[in-house]
Amino acid sequence: MNLLKTGIKAFYTGCLRLLPAILLCAAAFFSMTGKACADAEMRRCVMGADMTDEQKAEMYSVFGLQPGEVPEITLTNSDERRYLERSISQAVIGTRSISSVYLELLPKGSGIEVTLHNITWCTEEMYRNALQTAGIDSARLYVAAPFPVSGTGGLAGVYLAYENMTGETLDDGAVQAGTQELTVTGSLADEIGEENSTSIIGDLKALWASKGTMTDNEIRQTIRQTADQYHVHLTDAQVEQLTALSKTLSRLDPDQIRETVESVQGTMERVSEAKEQVSGFAQRIGQLMESLRQLLDRLTGLLNRA
């Protein structure tokens, strides 16, 4: 009898131990992360020139890669300034290149997946929107640093990796628009919250794509009306930030802006669906384990009375 009880408990304990592995496999399946299957020609690692060898090794570990597995590019502070200095102040760019990037191009229509490590200012949504505006619409991106940094340098790393990988030069106007969008979104997020900032700019981009040419006063009025929908009061300085951004975006092809908005929305919908699938799977596993626990309790009670 004791042997039977021991066997039942061992089975139950084994199920509990398997649960984390089951959930991990499910998450990996639904999020479609599969970096190992990607063609090396469609992947790049960008390492900041001012990182030590130990820090670079740490970044490869964060990316889940081995040195040499993916072509590596060095990002210098001069590269950062080339891509960013017209939209980001030199004080923010700094004098050292620390951020590292893993970029993998995905089939068109896949959207942009973003993961961050030690990035304190830029958010996943900020990167996603900036890359879409710059013309990168389907990619898996990981931006990391060996210690907390703002993450603006990571954007330069993405641009460098993309151009190296494809042999194409990104449209300069689109790059500047994407960089400006990232900085304005981040600046507003510090003051009105990330969700309000990204939502307002996303709505404005959709309006700019559909309305075409507007006067500065019409732009300002549209900005305030959009902010009112989110119960946000913008200062005059914030309105001017958004007005300047809108004028930059107005120089892009309206169809490109429209595709950017639709692609970001599609990506967010897929991410939400994947999270719901994983959550539902985890809930079902939890229910199964609870049923097993109850069965074990009943069997143990019967055995104790025998």
Least-confidence region, from 37-51, 64-78, 97-111, 137-151: 37-51
pLDDT of res. 288? 56
Domain edges within the chain: 1-31+274-306, 35-170
Closest CA to 209 of 166, 158, 265: 265
Q: On the CB side of 195, how many CA atoms lie within 13 Å of its CA?
A: 2
pLDDT of res. 116? 97
Is residue 299's pLDDT more than 70?
no
Distance set, CA 234 to CA 1, 122, 179, 200 (Å): 73, 21, 22, 11
Q: Is the separation of the CB atoms in 158 and 99 below 8 Å?
A: no
Q: How far is Cα 301 from Cα 272, in angstroms, rounded to an integer?
A: 43
Task: Determine the 3-state secondary structure of 6 from DSSP.
Answer: helix
Tell me the pTM.
0.68
- Note the residue count of the chain: 306
Task: Find the DSSP H helices in the chain.
Answer: 2-31, 53-63, 77-84, 90-93, 124-134, 152-166, 172-192, 194-211, 216-229, 236-249, 254-305
pLDDT, the chain, mean: 79
Is residue 281's pLDDT more than 80?
no
Q: How confident is the model at residue 21 (pLDDT cuts 50, 70, 90)?
A: low
Q: How far is Cα 247 from Cα 237, in angstroms, rounded to an integer?
A: 15
Higher model confidence: residue 116 or residue 93? Answer: 116
Is residue 65's pLDDT more than 60?
yes
Q: Is the separation of the CB atoms in 243 and 219 below 8 Å?
A: yes
Q: How confident is the model at residue 279 (pLDDT cuts 50, 70, 90)?
A: very low
pLDDT of res. 208? 74
Structure tokens at 295: 């069965």
Structure tokens at 152: 């603006």
Least-confidence region, from 16-20, 91-95, 151-155, 250-254: 16-20
CA 36 to chain centre: 19
